[in-house]
Amino acid sequence: MNIDDIFVHLPMLAQTDHDLIERAFTFASLAHEGQTRKSGQPYIIHPFNVALILAEMRLDAPTIAAAFLHDTVEDCESITIDDVEEEFGKEVAQLVHGVTKIEQLPTQANSRQRSSGSERQAEYLRQIFMAMGNDVRVILIKLADRLDNMRSLGALSRDRQIKNARETLDVFAPLANRFGIGHLKWQLEDLAFRYLEPEKYREIAMHLAERRLSREQDLARLTHQIETTLKAHGIKAQISGRPKHIYSIYRKMSRKQVQFDQIFDVRAVRVMVDDVAQCYQVLGIIHNLWRPVSGEFDDYIAAPKENGYRSLHTAISDEGGKTLEVQIRTHEMHQDAEYGIAAHWKYKENKSETDDVFDKRINYMRRILQNVQDDDPEDAEGFVEMVVQDISSYDRIYVFTPRRDIIDLPDGSTPIDFAYHIHTEVGHRCRGAKVNGKMVSLSYKLQTGDHVEIVTSNRGGPSLDWMNENLGFTKTQRARQKIRYWFRKQGREKAIAIGRDALERELKRLGMDDYVRADIAERTGFLSLDHMLIAIGYGDVTAPSIVTRIVQLEQREQEAKRDELVASAPTVNGKTADHGIDIAGLSGLLVKLATCCHPAPGDDIIGFVTRTSGVTVHRKDCKNIANTTEPQRLIQVSWGRSETHVYPVPVEIKARDREGLMRDIGAVIAEENINMTNVNITSDNQVATFRLVMEVAHISQLSLILNKIDMLPEVIHVRRVLPTERVAPTL
Ligand code: MN
């Protein structure tokens, strides 16, 4: 522990700053005298390490002085914040005060009873933002503090290890990411992961180590090849292998559901050049050298991530077919990526040229803060979910508003999410959207770089369908929460009307118009029909889910009946009474599943021809079959169609005729992997009527697909066509 280890990172320091840091070190050493860490080391080692981490990030002198002092007020009874101010001035004192406030938070956060993990986490975050005030340096000190604490976590009890590691992964690593400080984020994640999932951590680390040699040889070869080619083009570049972070490997593995091999064999290099033009030049040269892997190119220079990250990402497949990930960036971009907001802090004093990236990040933080304070108070729960979702999701897209502001949304967001992000009212009145100048459906998945424009109406509100996750209109909790809130505000009478509407529409579509509404409510566990309609109207349940539930109940009853009784005669198409069983070339036989061995699809089965009631199907290993005295009555059977049991359902779609209508309908059906047959189209007076048969596996699938078709532009209605003689739905 030598103060020069700190100064070595700060070569251009003015004498007064030098003195400030030195005095802070002396002050802290005295204050913590006699105190020890859990590991038994002198306590001062901790503030020293925190100061060192910040010095490595080249932060300014007040920050480093505050790092030395950050625990003095909290841990030393004799020292107050006023002492610090008197000794080191207001700026340093405020930094120390901010960090001290954050350090006192966890107890407050824990004291909130009845709160779930994610609520506590969000509450904690909110309080951190409050404590930070307007000075980001407070958080930088806190992050460095957390990093050093994580490095010495081994000395704590297992309980504390898990608690701190969890908090680090849930709160501090995402914070570091939000500030674009890559090197802190990775270290925090890897350390936390090591304590949370020691087995998995070790496994990945081992795999990495095992393949290190061959990976390094490959990398050396590829790097050399890139280097020579770039040199031939007159480009001076710095090429390095890119360290793989264990937690990011783990995340990638769980996200893409792939095996170790596919990820560990990925080689990654980083090419750093002097300017932006060279970045694109290098990209072209590398794409010429090897075959680019499609879908792996990202241009974060043209569209930087909201945390300020800029770089070109691509992947190529080398001669041996192995993938090489390549990041191309300028040296300056690299500084940014590693140190984020901290990289810009030192420009603060001579900020003659406006530092765009820095300002953008500060504005982003302000916006988060504003959301904390302004959001509908009734909506507190939604806010919590929103922050958690926002902060824990790294998979994000960046799209433009008409004024060319960049909006950052979770991957998979739709124009509706975008609209609610802009403003709650824009969301409520959203009726359509243009992406890159073209109208798109409201369930369109936005892509990074899209220019989005929302078409609004003057009146009206959101649609219940927007909350139905299956329909894909919304991705963010924030949007769903605001929609739900809108419906809640409509009041009881309106909710009943909205709920009734949705239910009637769903019943009509599925050809279940004649069901007694009150029975539906009773059977699905509601106190009354009104209760059910209100629940639908508030968006707590969806009409499709209620109708699906009813059909499931009926199905179960029918199955129970069938198990008890001899099967009735097969229906015309033979698809219900035969349990999906094929009988050695015969058809039309009565089929009954044996109650002694209860064969289920997939079991080896055999049929036994009874004298009076058709064929009974047994498992091949059933004792009754083995002991039969009449083996001549055994007959080969198989499960036949049952594995892909689908039901043909006739459907009618009416729509105002337009170009591309059939293609759109076809696309929706194909998306759900549903076969259609017997397509028949008639057109009358600009109205097209489609009749077709869909092969669906389950009524919930039918409900979903009819809903989706209903959402297509110009569709007037879509419904299931019933046979003239009404039979109970068998789906
Ligand atoms: Mn500390």
Q: Which CATH number does the domain housing residue 426 bear?
A: 3.10.20.30
Rounded average pLDDT over 206-218 = 80
Centre of ligand 1 to C-alpha 142, Å, is: 8
Measured CA angle at 484 (ends 478, 488), to 5 deg: 140
Reading the block at residue 438, the tokens are 């073209």
Centre of ligand 1 to C-alpha 74, Å, is: 9
Centre of ligand 1 to C-alpha 367, Å, is: 28
Centre of ligand 1 to C-alpha 636, Å, is: 75
Residue 359, domain member (yes or no): no
Which residues are bridge partners to 299 per DSSP?
312
> 124 and 216, same structural domain?
no
Give 617-675 pLDDT, tens digit per residue: 888 888 888 888 877 788 777 765 444 466 778 889 999 888 888 888 888 888 777 88
β-pairing, 396-400 vs 687-696, is unpaired
Centre of ligand 1 to C-alpha 153, Å, is: 13
Other beta carbons within 10 Å of 253: 17
Rounded average pLDDT over 378-400 = 50
Rounded average pLDDT over 286-308 = 82
Centre of ligand 1 to C-alpha 68, Å, is: 9
Centre of ligand 1 to C-alpha 33, Å, is: 15
Active site residue 332: no
Residue 84, domain member (yes or no): yes
Centre of ligand 1 to C-alpha 641, Å, is: 66
Centre of ligand 1 to C-alpha 25, Å, is: 14
Rounded average pLDDT over 116-139 = 68
Helix 699-710 vs helix 661-671: crossing angle, to nearest 10: 150
Q: Which amino acid is at 354?
A: T
Residue showing tokens 């909710």? 495
**pLDDT tops 90 at residue 230:** yes
- Residue 108: what pLDDT? 37
> 666 and 635, same structural domain?
no
Centre of ligand 1 to C-alpha 158, Å, is: 20
Contacts of 321 (CB under 8 A, 6+ apart): none
**pLDDT tops 50 at residue 602:** yes
What b-and-e string marks burial along 43-70, b requiring 16 or more CB atoms within 10 Å of the CB? bbbbbbbbbbbbbbbbbbbbbbbbbbbb
Centre of ligand 1 to C-alpha 386, Å, is: 29
Residue 377, domain member (yes or no): no
What b-and-e string marks burial along 336-374, b requiring 16 or more CB atoms within 10 Å of the CB? bbbbbbbbbbeeeeeeeeeeebbeebeebbeebbebbee
- Residue 426: what pLDDT? 93
Ramachandran category for residue 604: left, alpha or beta (phi over 0 → left; psi -120 to 50 → alpha): beta
Nearest to 267, CA basis, from 246, 286, 294, 243: 243
Q: Sort 148 into a burial class: Cβ within 10 Å, 0-12 / 13-18 / 19+.
A: buried
What is the torsional sign of CA 608, 614, 619, 625? negative
**pLDDT tops 80 at residue 127:** no
Give 664-687 pLDDT, tens digit per residue: 888 888 877 788 888 888 888 888
**pLDDT tops 50 at residue 391:** no
pTM above 0.75, yes or no: no
**What is the tally of structural domains in the chain?**
6
Residue showing tokens 């209760």? 531
> At 729, is the secondary structure helix, strand, or coil?
coil
Nearest to 99, CA basis, from 20, 151, 28: 28
> 216 and 139, same structural domain?
no
CA distance 60 to 346: 6
pLDDT band at residue 258 using 50, 70 and 90 as cut-offs: low
Centre of ligand 1 to C-alpha 46, Å, is: 7
Centre of ligand 1 to C-alpha 50, Å, is: 8
Contacts of 651 (CB under 8 A, 6+ apart): 690, 691, 692, 693, 694, 706, 718, 719, 720, 721
Q: Which amino acid is at 393?
A: S
CATH number assigned to the domain comprising residue 306: 3.30.460.10
Last residue of a domain, one of 617, 639, 661: 639
CATH number assigned to the domain comprising residue 700: 3.30.70.260
Least confident piece of the model among 58-62, 190-194, 382-386, 400-404 = 382-386
Least confident piece of the model among 57-66, 383-392, 496-505, 634-643 = 383-392
> 183 and 129, same structural domain?
yes
Reading the block at residue 516, the tokens are 């007694």
CA distance 114 to 355: 44
CA distance 190 to 330: 26
> 581 and 656, same structural domain?
no
> 151 and 114, same structural domain?
yes
Q: Are 634 and 607 in contact (CB under 8 A)?
A: yes
pLDDT band at residue 604 using 50, 70 and 90 as cut-offs: confident
Q: Are 688 and 681 in contact (CB under 8 A)?
A: yes
Centre of ligand 1 to C-alpha 47, Å, is: 6
Centre of ligand 1 to C-alpha 28, Å, is: 12
DSSP string, 492-537: HHHHHHHHHHHHHHHHHHTT-TTS-HHHHHHHTT-SSHHHHHHHHH
Residue 61, domain member (yes or no): yes
Centre of ligand 1 to C-alpha 169, Å, is: 18
> 183 and 55, same structural domain?
yes
CA distance 660 to 654: 14
CA distance 691 to 648: 13
Centre of ligand 1 to C-alpha 24, Å, is: 15
- Residue 144: what pLDDT? 95
Over the chain, what is the mean pLDDT? 79
> 282 and 333, same structural domain?
yes
Residue 527, domain member (yes or no): yes
Last residue of a domain, one of 437, 462, 484: 484
CA distance 601 to 719: 32
Centre of ligand 1 to C-alpha 601, Å, is: 61
Centre of ligand 1 to C-alpha 35, Å, is: 13
Rounded average pLDDT over 456-476 = 87
Q: Are 58 and 10 in contact (CB under 8 A)?
A: yes
Rounded average pLDDT over 298-327 = 84
Higher pLDDT, 584 or 401: 401
> 600 and 651, same structural domain?
no
Q: How far is the CA of 590 from the CAs of 132, 560, 569, 599, 610, in angstroms?
A: 76, 17, 6, 16, 10
Residue 378, domain member (yes or no): no
Nearest 10 degrees: CA dihedral of 97, 103, 108, 113?
Answer: 160
Residue 559, domain member (yes or no): no
- Residue 107: what pLDDT? 42
Other beta carbons within 10 Å of 259: 9
**pLDDT tops 50 at residue 123:** yes
- Annotated catalytic residue within 5, 19, 33, 74: 74
Rounded average pLDDT over 585-610 = 72
Centre of ligand 1 to C-alpha 623, Å, is: 72
Q: How far is the CA of 385 from the CAs of 381, 426, 481, 695, in angstroms?
A: 6, 21, 9, 38
Least confident piece of the model among 110-114, 153-157, 314-318, 433-437 = 110-114
**pLDDT tops 90 at residue 427:** yes
Centre of ligand 1 to C-alpha 31, Å, is: 14
Centre of ligand 1 to C-alpha 539, Å, is: 46
> At 263, is the secondary structure helix, strand, or coil?
helix
Q: How many CA atoms lie within 13 A of 205 on its CB side?
A: 10
Centre of ligand 1 to C-alpha 111, Å, is: 22
pLDDT band at residue 45 using 50, 70 and 90 as cut-offs: very high
Nearest to 675, CA basis, from 657, 707, 655, 702: 702
Residue 298, domain member (yes or no): yes
Rounded average pLDDT over 560-588 = 50
Least confident piece of the model among 228-242, 248-262, 419-433, 499-513 = 248-262
- Residue 93: what pLDDT? 94
> At 280, is the secondary structure helix, strand, or coil?
helix
Write out the E strands in 594-686.
605-609, 615-619, 634-638, 647-656, 675-684
> 20 and 150, same structural domain?
yes
Reading the block at residue 314, the tokens are 């691509």
> 337 and 276, same structural domain?
yes
> 716 and 630, same structural domain?
no
CA distance 472 to 708: 9
Q: Sort 549 into a burial class: Cβ within 10 Å, 0-12 / 13-18 / 19+.
A: middle
CA distance 274 to 186: 26
pLDDT band at residue 388 using 50, 70 and 90 as cut-offs: very low
- Residue 231: what pLDDT? 92
Active site residue 145: no
Centre of ligand 1 to C-alpha 343, Å, is: 23
**pLDDT tops 90 at residue 32:** yes
Last residue of a domain, one of 174, 196, 218: 196
- Annotated catalytic residue within 17, 22, 56, 75: 75
Higher pLDDT, 377 or 30: 30
- Residue 727: what pLDDT? 42
> At 593, is the secondary structure helix, strand, or coil?
strand
Centre of ligand 1 to C-alpha 65, Å, is: 13
**pLDDT tops 60 at residue 355:** no
Q: How far is the CA of 380 from the CAs of 123, 167, 383, 478, 481, in angstroms?
A: 10, 21, 5, 11, 10
- Residue 573: what pLDDT? 41
**H/E run at residue 426:** helix 424-428
Quote the domain boundaries for residue 433: 395-484
